[in-house]
Amino acid sequence: MTRVLVTGGAGFIGSRIVVAALARGWEVRVIDALVPSVHQTRPEIAREVEFIEADVTDPAALDRCMQGVDVVSHQAAKVGMGVDFSDAPDYMRANAVGTAEVLAAMSRAEIGRLVLASSMVVYGEGRYVGHHGDVRPGPRRAEDLQNGMFEPRDPASGEILNPALTVEDAILDPRSVYAASKLAQEHLATIWAHEVGGKVAMLRYHNVYGPGMPRDTPYAGVAAIFRSSLEHAQAPRVFEDGGQRRDFVHVDDIASANVAAMEWTARMDAAPSRAFNIGSGTVSTILDVASELSRVCNGPEPIVTGQFRAADVRHITASSERAHAELAWSASVGLAEGLREFAASPLRD
């Protein structure tokens, strides 16, 4: 019998991983701090599994959690792009320090299998191709943004670049505090794996959406922000021209990827540490998603504002071929189907 610890197991993604693990017949333990800004009520999952209400920065609580565990799925994190730089200490405490404490507790308990929730944000801008092959764009020009030209340019020639799918071996270039904290988690986990002889699968989630997303918070994903607007009969507001390319992946596909990754960590031939893009394989624009949600919610059409944030990433879409080949995992929920379900499901207060 496999025994799993899910950190952040009462959250949007963690709770779906718990359900998927239970469906495999595994025993599940959850640690979650139930932060009031995220959890207004005690979630059902806290009554369905062994549940420890504590923060992952608490070493004593983690030592209790690790007893008898075979594999850890580390989902506890502060998510989203934040409000401003004053959020930086909270991000680093929750994500970097929290991960360090989890890894230290795993080391004390001699647990050698970990699945880490990482993110596409570690790449910064995605992959781009120019006339002579791959090009790494620099920051977008202020005058371009002000004139409504949002596509990145080749720093050398000034030509407009074409976006392409990003692979795991791409240069990592975090462009926000949140992104820096996620990359710090990856570095810590990689060092841990090599020092203790453990195995870690680092899952770089792309734009996750689905039932149970939190509402009305700047830390929520863009799909939840659009959904919240529509619930208030307000048009979703889309930045830039809406042409930002993303890969939206359903939360249940994220959960199944975690189950596949946990099984991968048990394989003798698995690498000590390995990163995997976890995306749907379908490229969509932000305006596509806003428009489809407006349609299925019978709400007002999106408003394309032309507003921009200079640090925002223009395009980031995944190649998930490595996950297909090595984890035997593929996404199964199509975007149209998933958005219909999402539109009909309540957001989390």
Catalytic residue set = 178
Identify which of 13, 293, 315 has the alpha carbon closest to the alpha carbon of residue 151. Answer: 315
Residue 293 contacts by C-beta under 8 Å, 6 or more apart in sequence? 223, 226, 227, 230, 236, 299, 339, 342, 343
* CA 207 from centroid of its chain's CA atoms: 6
SS3 220: coil
Residue 56 contacts by C-beta under 8 Å, 6 or more apart in sequence? 7, 8, 31, 33, 62, 74, 76, 98, 99, 101, 102
Residue 85 contacts by C-beta under 8 Å, 6 or more apart in sequence? 177
Beta strand residue intervals within the chain, DSSP E: 3-7, 27-32, 50-53, 71-74, 113-119, 127-130, 133-135, 162-164, 199-205, 207-209, 237-238, 245-246, 248-250, 273-278, 284-285, 303-304
CA dist list (Å): 228 to 214, 218, 225: 9, 11, 5
Query: In whole angstroms, what is the distance from residue 61 CA to residue 57 CA?
Result: 9
Query: In whole angstroms, what is the distance from residue 29 CA to residue 142 CA?
Result: 49
CA angle 26, 348, 313 (to 5 degrees): 95
